[in-house]
Structure formats: C-alpha cells, structure tokens
C-alpha cells in the first residue's frame, strides 16, 4: 500500500483543538505517515514543535503574511532565536509559512514585504528551505528569491505555468492539494498534470482548502450547512485525483512525491531516511508516539491558511 506525506498541514489550528489525536490517527490509518506542520506566528511556535514531536512529524517556524498585521517586528528576532535554539532538532525542517498575499483585502503590502524579505534572509542564515504562501504574488516572491538562493516548497500553488517553471528552476517543489479535486480549477489541474513529476509534492493545507467531496457551496452554507473541516486523512483521496490526472499509478506518485518532499526539505529527507517506516504498520507507529510519556495535546491557535 502506498504511503503519503502531507507537506502542509496546520494541526495546531483551533479547528483541531478538541480532537488532534483522533485527526492524526485517522491520517495514519489512511497511510499518511508524515505531516509537515508550518507555524503561522511566533505565538504558535511552541505548539507546532510540540505536535511534531508528539506525532513523529516535522515542523517549520515562520510568520504567515496574513499574520503580519498583528505581528511585532520583534517577532523576527524571536524567530531567529527559536531557529537557533532548534538547530539540532531533526524535526525542524523549514522556515515557514512565509510569503505574500495580494488577494485578501486590507493587508499592508509594505509590512508583508518587510516580513517576507527578513524571513528569507533568516532562512538563508540558518541554511533552511522555506515554505511559501503564494497568492497573486508569485512574481514578487520570485524577485526576492532569485538573489537569495533559497528554495523549498511553494504551497497550494496557483500561479501560471511560466511562474511555476521559474519556481522549479530555482529548485522549488510545488504543493498541490484540495484545489485539484475541483473540475472548475482548470489552471491548477493543468499544472498538476503537465509539470514534471519531479516538481510536485502533495498537501492538504488542513483545516483549509476542503476537497470537492467535502466542500459546501455558498448556497449550502446559507441553508445552514457549515463549511466542512479538511483533515490530513483526505490526502490519499486527493492523491488519487492527481494520479488519475497524470495517468500514473498510486505507487509511482507516492514514491515520487516523497522523494520530492525530501529533496525540497533536506532535513525531512534525513529524518525519513533515519527512521524508515517502510513495512511498519502506521497505526502501531502512531500508537508508539502517543504512548510516549510527557506528551500533551496541542492547543489551538487559529490558522490563516
């Protein structure tokens, strides 16, 4: 049975606060053997670190563009110190989630850019890849990446083919998740189909970006059905859609995307190589982690995608 890596999952989000263990268990039972947990602000650094250790997963530390409004500029120093403190932590694999969002109205563009530029410099100093939030901002992100020589993962990628190719040229992998499951998302489906297999990784962005089978339309929501919560256990079904679009088998997709994730996040590669779960029942693996003494459940902080 193929196993999967969810390269972008906000298990620390408030939506999961009541049942984080159950959510992670369901994912493990569904053969999602590893989740990468990006932070969104200084206030959730400790939580993502604790959750990654609790579940045998990995994490990133960074300040999300949608959190820059309430972040203090001191938080950049907090990030720097937290990265230094976690230098020997094999589960710290990236600086992220960072980036630029030109879609959500009311954000201060200059402030977003300040946090983005500074965090690129911090990632470079710490020798870490980045996990990027890209929303109508690909060209601006690329402009700062080119001279920095930093790579990583551009998550929930939705830019043009040309922009995608430029990220790939810089050594990035592009993350695909729930959006590919919508037939109307033609551009993203085209990218997921046509980009070289070496360029793509899989993600859920849970609890956000529900796949088509969970999505509640505006009309359904108006009729009282709340938007469904996405979770990492949905990844294998999303992977089926990607495999179908590309006309390849699930094993081939699982192996390629795991290899790509390890390449984009070298410490993740080292972690997986040193801790091979091949042939190990994912449920017993998780049970082991959950039985570890001193593990406390994650508290919620809200996730801005």
Q: At a CB cut-off of 8 Å and minimum separation 6, what does 164 contact? A: 157, 174, 191, 195, 199
Is the bond leading into 202 cis (omega within 30 degrees of zero)? no
Separation between Cα atoms, residue 6 and residue 16, nearest integer Å: 16
Least separation in angstroms between residue 203's CB and Zn ion is: 8
Least separation in angstroms between residue 3's CB and Zn ion is: 22
Q: Among residues 12 and 97, whose Cβ is nearest to Zn ion?
A: 97
Write out the residues near Zn ion by the rule CB under 5 A.
97
Distance of CA 71 to the CA centre of its chain: 21
Residue least distant from Zn ion (Cβ): 97
Least separation in angstroms between residue 8's CB and Zn ion is: 6
Separation between Cα atoms, residue 177 and residue 119, nearest integer Å: 25
Least separation in angstroms between residue 101's CB and Zn ion is: 11
What string of DSSP letters covers 105-155?
Answer: TT--HHHHHHHHHHHHHHHHHHT--EEEEEES-HHHHHHHHHHHT--EEEE
Q: Among residues 44 and 163, whose Cβ is nearest to Zn ion?
A: 44
Q: Among residues 205 and 243, whose Cβ is nearest to Zn ion?
A: 205
Least separation in angstroms between residue 247's CB and Zn ion is: 29
Tokens standing for 267? 């410490």
Q: Among residues 97 and 166, whose Cβ is nearest to Zn ion?
A: 97
Q: Among residues 107 and 285, whose Cβ is nearest to Zn ion?
A: 107
Least separation in angstroms between residue 204's CB and Zn ion is: 10
Cα→Cα distances 19→114, 133, 291, 297, Å = 36, 26, 16, 9
Place of tokens 């088998």: 249
Contact in structure between 8 and 133 (CB atoms under 8 Å): no
Least separation in angstroms between residue 205's CB and Zn ion is: 5
Helix axes 138-148, 161-169, angle to 10 degrees: 20
Q: Among residues 120 and 131, whose Cβ is nearest to Zn ion?
A: 131
Q: Among residues 230 and 257, whose Cβ is nearest to Zn ion?
A: 230
């Amino acid at each position: 049975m193929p196993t999967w890596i969810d390269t972008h999952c906000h298990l620390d989000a408030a939506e999961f606060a009541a049942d984080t263990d159950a959510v992670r268990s369901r994912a493990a039972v569904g053969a999602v053997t590893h989740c990468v947990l990006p932070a969104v602000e200084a206030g959730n650094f400790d939580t993502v670190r604790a959750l990654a250790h609790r579940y045998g997963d990995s994490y990133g530390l960074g300040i999300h563009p949608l959190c820059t409004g309430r972040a203090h500029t001191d938080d950049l120093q907090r990030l720097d110190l937290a990265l230094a403190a976690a230098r020997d932590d094999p589960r710290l694999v990236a600086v992220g989630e960072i980036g630029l969002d030109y879609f959500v109205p009311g954000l201060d563009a200059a402030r977003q850019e300040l946090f983005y530029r500074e965090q690129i410099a911090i990632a470079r100093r710490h020798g870490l890849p980045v996990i990027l939030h890209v929303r109508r901002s690909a060209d601006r992100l690329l402009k700062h990446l080119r001279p920095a020589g930093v790579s990583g993962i551009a998550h929930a990628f939705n830019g043009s083919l040309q922009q995608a190719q430029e990220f790939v040229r810089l050594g990035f992998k592009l993350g695909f998740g729930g959006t590919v499951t919508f037939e109307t998302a033609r551009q993203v489906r085209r990218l997921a189909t046509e980009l070289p297999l070496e360029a793509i990784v899989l993600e859920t962005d849970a609890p956000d970006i529900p796949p088509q089978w969970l999505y509640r339309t505006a009309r359904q929501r108006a009729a009282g059905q709340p938007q469904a919560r996405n979770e990492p256990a949905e990844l294998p079904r999303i992977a089926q859609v990607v495999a179908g679009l590309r006309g390849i088998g699930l094993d081939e997709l699982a192996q390629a995307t795991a290899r790509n994730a390890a390449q984009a996040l070298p410490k993740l590669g080292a972690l997986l190589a040193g801790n091979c779960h091949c042939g190990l029942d994912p449920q017993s693996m998780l049970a082991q982690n959950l039985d570890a003494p001193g593990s406390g459940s994650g508290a919620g902080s809200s996730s801005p995608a």
